[in-house]
Chains A and B, each alone.
Chain A
Amino acid sequence: MLRNLSIGRRLALFFVLGAGVVVAVVSYFTFVQARDLLRAQQRDIIRQALKATSASIEATEAAVEKVVQGNALLVEDLRLKPEESGAMLKRTLQRNLELVGAAVAYNPEIPAYGHVAPYAYRDGDAVLLKDLGKDDRAYEIGDWYQLPYQMGKAQWTEPYYDEGGADMLTATYAEPVYLDGDPASVSAVVTGDVSLTRLSRFLQSLDLGDTGYAFLISRNGTFIAHPDPAFIMNESIFSVAAAREDPGLRSTGREMTSGRSGFVTFDGLSGLEPSGPSYMAYTPIESTGWSLGIVYADSEVNAAVIELNRLSWAIDLVGLAALLVIALLVARTITRPIDALDLAAQTLAHGELDAPLPQAKGRDEVARLTASFGRMRDDLKERVEELRVTTAQRERIESELRIAANIQMSLVPRTFPPYPQRHDLEVFALLEPAREVGGDFYDFFLMDEDHLALAIADVSGKGMPAALMMAVGRSFLRSYSRLGGGPSQILDSLNDELSTDNDTSMFVTMFLAVVDLRTGHVRYASAGHNRPFVVRRDGAVEQLPRTRGIALGARAGMMFAEAELTLAQGEALFLYTDGVSEAMNAADEVFTEERIAGELTRIASASCGHLLREMNEALSAHAAGVEQSDDITMVAFRYMGGGSQDADAGRGGEV
């Protein structure tokens, strides 16, 4: 995947990824730090808000308590009668706007006053008075009466809906009054009512952020103030804990209702269901025994931190984008010369070695690469030039060789049988030139009606000089043969001729035989050539004895020895060059003369053509694919005897 991207893009990608990781890590730790800081800060803010709010509530409750305590003192000290109490209560309400109602409930068990409870309350702006004990209504069964009465001290009641006053959530502060200061006999309970609706509104008006809210629970844990109206008076912190099966919330509730302050993390209280990680600070309202809580969601802290970090993240992103651009630009300065080099290399690959290479600036890796590339290109050019020269040379040599081979092949008789009208002889010859012409040749011709000359020769050296030498040698051989004389005299003359001005020091080995076709008598001489074989009628194979004589062209004035033998009818001569006896196989083993003799013995009675082909096959089998290094030349002659049948056709063998 990544490998498919260009180096430049990959470089830029790695740069930006690496920088991105660093930026992300830094951002994360900054975020955590800021969040913790903000949490701590938020905690302080909430605590301050809590303190201020509870102080404000306390102040209101304390004012109510003061008023009720004042009334209680009056009732107790002045032994106010119910009518007097009523007047006092009306004045109290008129003067103290925080009170929504006030009563003096006389103890019905004390006969002096009877079952009576004057109660002042508001109806709009008016302050009205009524008797709570009217029509035998049992005011004394209410908590506001029973609690101070039974406990012998002032009490804030649990909040309740005052059915008289339009379902107003009310709490009452009630203080017992004693007859003659006797703590055992309560003469009346003096009360003041405060509306919690106003308190609830006050709590909701607090600025506590988007998710923050304040709530108030009673001594029993019941919600008195809460942003969800359905909670008020219905749910308690304990019922919510039970609904959620959250023992943690229940113990928090117990802490709150037992008058402690604290700070907890919990699942929020905005509904019956958990509302996410939240914090709550709580503190008691000492006078009433209530507890004030302020809740805020952790998500808000996070949101604030995110808000704070937004700019820095934006800067990070811009920075990363800039880095990407810079990285791409830097990468381009690196890859552009490489791309140029790549383009040049492609041109080069098409063979345009002279195409210009990009200019390498500086001394960086790319410059060095370009320089190396240039050197490589120059070397290549040189090599190509060399190759061109050698190829031309080789082509010239090869064409020379071809010409030489053509000369060689055109100089030897190649029509078989050469004398179709004659039945007294059979001649067959074979010349397989090596790739580089070796300069072998053979020749046979009738010197007259009854005499056949047979020659085989091997020119030292190869190629054109050898071919020319061979052509010269053959011409001289024919010329001197016409002058008459035996084979030794012909070789003498030939030697003298070839030795004259032999600057090139080329030599020719040659075997020359002259056969008298009437008798089968053979005279022969050898100029250092391989000794031919005779195949006798009985199948015996003999090698001709050695005769004196070295290669032609070595030294003038040499005298060649002559020898003779007689061939019976059907007997044959086998002439060959060292290309046969020294043919090599892969193991560098030569064919050997013994092997030639063996092959001749095996195929003694075959016709001359067949004999040479068989020998050639044996040679091929021996070489087994190894390239022939020298010309292979063989001549077979069989003396048939019985005289010439067609004397006129005698010279027809030459081509």
Chain B
Amino acid sequence: MENICLINGSLRGKKASSLVFLNYINRMLADAEFNKDIINVWARVRESYPEDILRAISRADAIIMVFPLFTYGIPGALMCLLEDFYLYAKANGYNKAAGIYIVVNCGFYRPEIMAELIRVMKNFCRRLSLNWRFAICMGAGPVAAVTVKIPLLNMKYRRALSAIASDIENGGAGQKDDCFIKPLLPEPVILWWKAQYEKKMKAGAASK
């Protein structure tokens, strides 16, 4: 039975869009066929993440990281876990054949802004000789998190997320392209919404 490690890189708890995508993927992976570990990043890590968490990642045959884009990169909380895992893996060994999948969402409309983040993840895989598989990048994360639950409207999302499950089932071989998904709502609507927040933010900064 294959070991799958699903990592939730968001600290927003039940409100996290990342959690919606993680649960969606989790449901596609049959409990009878896979041992699944779900790991949530922590807000406070003293010395290092505990060994049982790092061991679960190191023995996984597939690692699926689901997280939001923060300042065009990896959220600090997830970066902390990756740093600890890197040191643990170097010292204690790990499954080098593990396939790495990332599912990232950002507040912005265009998911192409995640290109550098994908490069960081590929660097992480190269450092550990892990098997980089592919990234699914979604624009307007909160909108995507709602859309993914609506039958028929969620076709693009369902197709992309089920590609992870089928890739794992097929042994994760061959090269796969990264997938960039724009939201169903038109860009001007999303940008108008974003502008409302930014207006408030700029007014707040100016008043200080």
- The answer to whether A and B come from one shared complex is no
- Taking Cβ atoms with an 8 Å cutoff, the residues of B that contact A are none
- Taking Cβ atoms with an 8 Å cutoff, the residues of A that contact B are none
